[in-house]
Amino acid sequence: MSTWELSEDQQRLQAGAVAFARAALTASGPEDERAGHFDHEGWKKCADFGVLGMPIPEAYGGQGLGLSELLAVMEGLGYGTRDQGLLFSINAHLWTNSIPILIYGKDEQRTRYLPGLCDGSIIGANGASEPDAGSDIFSMRTRARRDGDHYVLNGTKMFVSNAPIADLVVAYATIDPALGAMGVTAFLIEKGTPGMSVGKKFDKMGLRTSPMAELIFEDCRIPVTSRLGREGRGAEVFESSMEWERGCILANCLGAMRRQLEECVKHARSRKQFGKAIGKFQSVANRLVDMKVRLDTCRPLVYRIGALKDAGKDAVMEAAVAKLYVSECYVKSSLDAVQTFGGYGYMTEQQIERDVRDAIGSTLYSGTTEIQRNIIARGLGL
């Protein structure tokens, strides 16, 4: 069996995810999307379905399943619902909170936080990007000053997904800007901690149902026991979480691309112009062929990440390749879907154009297309 072909159990899990999404994740229509409504009920349903705990060991409240199984489920969810914002929030929660805590947390931190992260009672966020530290993440200015058995944090984080609804933040700060990446340290900060507040909320082009805001630290005092990993090793924590996120965050986009293709084929067969179905026109047919080719070439790249991580191997290069290629293909196929539906695709009521706005974000989050090219070039020794 190829690394991207689903086993019978994985097919069963994916089919169950599709059925669940179609039945339970239906709250996000055009008005909800326009208002940026986060589906709290859908979040809890996803937790009850088991999505939030799939890659976490049973000892910490999860299901202990492999990454390949989770990817199959996420693809199924992306196919079954248009609420890519909710799925984006789930991805942010998993790859920048649950996984770093599982890998780098002390057992007391795992015991304290992972069960709630799995059952949905704790929503996670990640504070890394800053006004002057986006792609150049390790030039961050948020400072962590050691004061006895505590650290005192000061600074501002930008573009924090889930910030307005988060109960737990994995935040990064530097103990000394002159040290660059070697000064970065990771911290676990709970909602309500004095000195941490939610700042400006952002009104986004796409993924509008995933809330985003600033996080502000003003003399935010946290105990040393809240440090995640060792002092000065936050860059390792961050890069590890990004490897997982880059390789996995687009699994639900595979489902969206599959749904797009099926909708376009159905429309091309039924929509008639000049006396025949528009799918009989070569320009339309070729567009759908391109969508099919993109989907089939994207799937192995994503599922290869699952196979590698399940085997305990690194996937830095492979994650960057998947992130680069799948995000670009998602944008192109979303634009092709609008073109296929024509004027109907441009109307918000049909929600075809929603995929375009959501897809464009995929070329930016978890490292821009340009950053992925840099990572791949380094991997090639360039």
Tokens representing 31 are 């008005």
CA distances from 219 to 156, 157, 232 (A): 12, 14, 20
- Which residue type is seen at 167? D
DSSP 314: -
Residue 221 β-bridge partners: 152
The pairing of strands 227-228 and 184-190 is antiparallel
Say whether 318 is catalytic.
no
3-state secondary structure of 51: helix
Find the catalytic residue in 214, 245, 318, 353: 245
Helix 67-80 vs helix 282-310: crossing angle, to nearest 10: 150
3-state secondary structure of 204: coil
Q: How many CA atoms lie within 13 A of 381 on its CB side?
A: 0
Neighbouring CB atoms inside 10 A of 202's CB total: 17
- CA 174 vs. chain centroid, Å, equals 25
Q: What are the DSSP calls for 158-187, one per residue?
A: EEEETGGG-SEEEEEEES-GGGGGGGEEEE
- Positive or negative torsion for Cα 242, 66, 301, 364: negative
Give residues with Cβ within 8 angstroms of 99, minimum separation 6.
Answer: 55, 240, 241, 244
The pairing of strands 150-161 and 168-174 is unpaired
| Catalytic residue ranges | 245
